[in-house]
Structure 1
Amino acid sequence: MANFSKSNVPQFSVEVYQNAFLPEGGREVNAVVTVTSTGGGTTGGIPLAGSGPARGAGRGPDAAVVLMVDCSGSMDYPPTKMRHARDATAAAVDALREGTLFAVVAGTHVAKDVYPGGGRLAVADAHTKAAAREALRRLSAGGGTAIGTWLRLADRLLGSADAAIRHGILLTDGRNEHEAPEDLRAALDSCAGRFTCDARGVGTDWEVKEVAGVAAALLGTADIVADPSGLAADFTRMMENAMGKEVADVALRLWTPVGVEIQFVKQVAPTVADLTGRRTETGPRSGDYPTGSWGDESRDYHVCVRVPEAGIGQEMLAARVSLVLPDPAGAPQALSQGLVRAVWTDDMAASTSINPQVAHYTGQAELAQVIQQGLEARKSGDVDGATAKLGRAVQLASASGNQDTARLLSKVVDVVDAATGTVRLKAKVAEADEMTLETRSTKTVRVKK
């Protein structure tokens, strides 16, 4: 474990958990890397990212936030949905820290910045918050849904800000029916790395994969608010988390020696997110994986590499994991680092022992996968496949102590025996329960140390 501290950023530490011992001929090395940030913000556990330098010592973080509110025609069914969306956005505005830059965007088949307007951002204070609430009261439902246009407008607004933390909050109640899927993908590709975005689906008429895709591409969180009356509390929590971030654009840098192949890099807590395909090359055998912005929090990453074969008794550095903060004006700032090792042994007990952290998170990643596969099978009418996959999910959730996921599964299947994964599909399942399970399938519990 190593850590480095600078006066203008929180203090980061890296701990590596692994079984370094391999049998003769063994090549796969797994490690769980726990990254902890202290001395920063007051909230944690949710990756929210932005752009720009770290904050200066002794002052609140520079932040800019754009709230994107679905105002399509479906928000009028029932009419209380639009009212709850207005109230929730107003609650989020109230939670803004004084001095934060912000704007409100009304999203339909086009995007319109309804406050402060004119392509500008307002500075949060009592006067501008009251004006934003008044602008929200005038919002009404009508039109279609083109989420990519909302994101592109948010990007233009946030891009005008000299702020360290740039963040969006997006609310939708329907499917993205008024633009092609490739247009949304192009918008996400354009916005990735420029700001983060938490996405929420309200009600049950939206597409989980679309909302989750927005959050995944923009390093935010996705969730369902099945009952619109719960929006205000959820929006307030999201904004408080955003306000708790202190340093943006932190990258997980992985250096590997000659001959070592990277199998995957995944965030495994607080949610499962595969970062493997998001690598940016930074030098010979070195690449960065985005982690977003940090306050006071801890996250876990699973790194898997394939090393060259070596003889009994030999040892090598399999990877060096660093936390770095890019500096446009100079060399990146190293925040912390840890080492992943490989040692070849003929001690069978040593080489076959699975590290508890690695075993736990391998199970949590499988849990997320089998839930999604089971729900897909259920939708397609494959009863046997759905029963097998969701039964395995119940078994994994029970064994790992993931009680939240176990509760969600119990609304979709009748559990006969959790230990063996014996279940029966429920004949009738509320759509909200099924969508909640799918949306929250990637949430994990941490290994008990």
Structure 2
Amino acid sequence: MADFAKSHTPRFTVEVHQNPYLPRGARETHAVVTVTATGSGGRPLPADGPRAAVVLMVDCSGSMNRPPDKLRHARLATEAAIGALPDGVAFAVVAGNHRAAEVFPGGGRLAVADPATRAAARTAVRGLTASGGTAIGTWLRLAARLFATTPAGVRHGVLLTDGRDEHETPARLREALDACAGRFTCDARGVGTDWRVAEVTSIASALLGTADIVAEPEGLTADFTAMMTAATGKEIGDVGLRLWTPHGASVRFVRQVAPSVEDLTGRRTASPPRSGDYPTGSWGDESRDYHVCVRVPDAGVGRELLAARVAFVVRDPADPAGPPAASLGHGLIRVVWTDDLAAAAAVNPQVAHYAGQAELARAIREGLELRRRGDAAGAGARLGRAVRLAHLSGHEATAKLLAKVVDVEDAATGTVRLKTTVAEVDEMTLETRSTKTVGVKKKPSEDE
């Protein structure tokens, strides 16, 4: 197991940001855990099979013919994504409507990318036609069956839809997501404006991928190519964030807060003794931040306590039920009780920043929902709060999106007026991207 971890993974470094001091009687501590993976580039392909596998799921329902060039751009984007596949990556293409069909290679298997298979796959994609309805759960279940045929440690789906999941119940889609969770990650994209944001974002959330809107079909090729590059750049899948807490302590929540907000609290699986694992998906060269809140027993002023031990762990994908998981990196969350009110009142900058980012995402989501319900006053208050939080955190991209939904009179105070008319694409873009975050701004040094 140690040999697997050493030879097949990037190097993980873990930093813990917190104010460890608590006032007398306090029982809750917050920390931001920054995890950086480096050194994954340039590794040779494993001799015993593909390192990564990708399944492209393309919406071929009847609505893809409205307008006619939508499916044409989807075909071109899929061809470009196939062309971006490195040699040695396992892959397949699935066409989805109210059923799911294997477009390439067929036979319930995956092909291995090389010049010949990429050319054959592109030829198969050119024959895609649009008809029927939409049942996304069937696409995901077929992808899961295909992934089950490969030993690849990194398994990544890319899903494109332009419509609403109207040919299966929400419960059936949820069942499919539950069945696929942990078996592969998935990026989901909605093209145009006829799809439901909640459906697309729920797919990405459940399967630890990204969600976004591609407003115009012409933008699909660039987006698909970028997703493929990112997916095939991953070196290790199924990394878990493991939290150990001492007797009497408990985890209140675990949230990914960068590069996007994702609540992982309910996804804990027990890893005794006194530990739990939270899924983080696949990793390449990248950095992510996690906000951890732990409830601790009051040990009294002057006492110090190890509140939690944070580790990032992985099991050998060839033997998931085998030896204990290998640790990729770890950090410590500690607390000290004090009567020094100034020390206890200090707020760590990273913790404050990401608490604000999570509130920003909530304010946008709640504000848009109130707007849809016709509650102008409530919507204005929540979206005004979002404008202020975006201003304070320097989240310029979100500020620009908010300005398409409200007229900003004073960003610093969050004073806004709802726009009378808002383009549907602008509202959907704001909602879809509301969970994207920005990092903490570093203070310039004295020499700058």
Question: TM range, normalised to the smaller chain?
Answer: over 0.9
Matches of 1:78 and 1:56 in 2, distance apart? 42
Q: Which amino acid aligns with 2:308?
A: A
Q: Which amino acid aligns with 1:401?
A: G
The 5-angstrom pairing of residues 12-161 of structure 1 reads 12-41=12-41, 62-161=51-150
Shift in Å at residue 331 of structure 1? 1.8
Q: Report the TM-score, using the length of structure 1 for normalisation.
A: 0.95
Query: Do the aligned residues in 2 keep the contact of 1:148 with 1:183 (CA within 8 Å)?
Result: yes
Matches of 2:278 and 2:180 in 1, distance apart? 16
Q: Which ranges in structure 1 are unaligned for 5 or more consecutive residues? A: 43-53
Query: Do the aligned residues in 2 keep the contact of 1:8 with 1:56 (CA within 8 Å)?
Result: no
Shift in Å at residue 55 of structure 1? 8.4
Structure 2 equivalent of residue 389 of structure 1 = 382
Report SS of the residue matched to 1:223: strand
Matches of 2:324 and 2:125 in 1, distance apart? 44
Q: Report the TM-score, using the length of structure 2 for normalisation.
A: 0.95
Structure 1 equivalent of residue 7 of structure 2 = 7
Structure 2 equivalent of residue 165 of structure 1 = 154
Shift in Å at residue 28 of structure 1? 1.0
Query: Do the aligned residues in 1 keep the contact of 2:49 with 2:151 (CA within 8 Å)?
Result: no
The 5-angstrom pairing of residues 184-223 of structure 1 reads 184-223=173-212
For 1:343, which of 328, 336, 339 is the aligned residue? 336
- 1:430–1:354 distance in 2 versus 1, CA, 3 Å: same
Shift in Å at residue 126 of structure 1? 1.2
Q: Which amino acid aligns with 1:37?
A: A
Shift in Å at residue 187 of structure 1? 0.4
Shift in Å at residue 253 of structure 1? 0.2
Query: Which stretch of structure 1 is more off in the superposition, 307-316 or 352-361?
Result: 307-316
Q: Which amino acid aligns with 2:198?
A: K
Query: Do the aligned residues in 1 keep the contact of 2:50 with 2:151 (CA within 8 Å)?
Result: no
Query: Do the aligned residues in 2 keep the contact of 1:265 with 1:275 (CA within 8 Å)?
Result: yes
Structure 2 equivalent of residue 270 of structure 1 = 259
Structure 1 equivalent of residue 288 of structure 2 = 299
Query: Which stretch of structure 1 is more off in the superposition, 130-139 or 184-193?
Result: 130-139
For 1:412, which of 405, 413, 418 is the aligned residue? 405
Query: Do the aligned residues in 2 keep the contact of 1:105 with 1:150 (CA within 8 Å)?
Result: yes
Shift in Å at residue 321 of structure 1? 0.3
Shift in Å at residue 236 of structure 1? 0.2
Report SS of the residue matched to 2:222: helix
Q: CA deviation digits over 1:273-304, x for unaligned, max 9?
A: 00000001010210000011111111000000
Query: Do the aligned residues in 1 keep the contact of 2:236 with 2:282 (CA within 8 Å)?
Result: yes
Q: CA RMSD in A?
A: 1.6
Report SS of the residue matched to 2:8: coil
How many residue pairs match? The answer is 435
Higher relative contact order (CA 8 A, sep 6+): 1
Structure 1 equivalent of residue 445 of structure 2 = none
Q: CA deviation digits over 1:160-211, x for unaligned, max 9?
A: 1121111110000000000011100000000000001100000000000000
Matches of 1:343 and 1:274 in 2, distance apart? 27
Matches of 2:255 and 2:364 in 1, distance apart? 18
Matches of 1:272 and 1:55 in 2, distance apart? 33
Matches of 1:441 and 1:223 in 2, distance apart? 10
Shift in Å at residue 310 of structure 1? 2.6
Query: Do the aligned residues in 1 keep the contact of 2:50 with 2:88 (CA within 8 Å)?
Result: no
Matches of 1:61 and 1:10 in 2, distance apart? 17
Q: Which ranges in structure 2 are unaligned for 5 or more consecutive residues? A: 443-448
Query: Which stretch of structure 1 is more off in the superposition, 393-402 or 241-250?
Result: 241-250
Matches of 1:56 and 1:322 in 2, distance apart? 27
Q: CA deviation digits over 1:234-268, x for unaligned, max 9?
A: 00000000111011111100000011121100000
Identity of aligned residues (%): 68
Structure 2 equivalent of residue 431 of structure 1 = 424
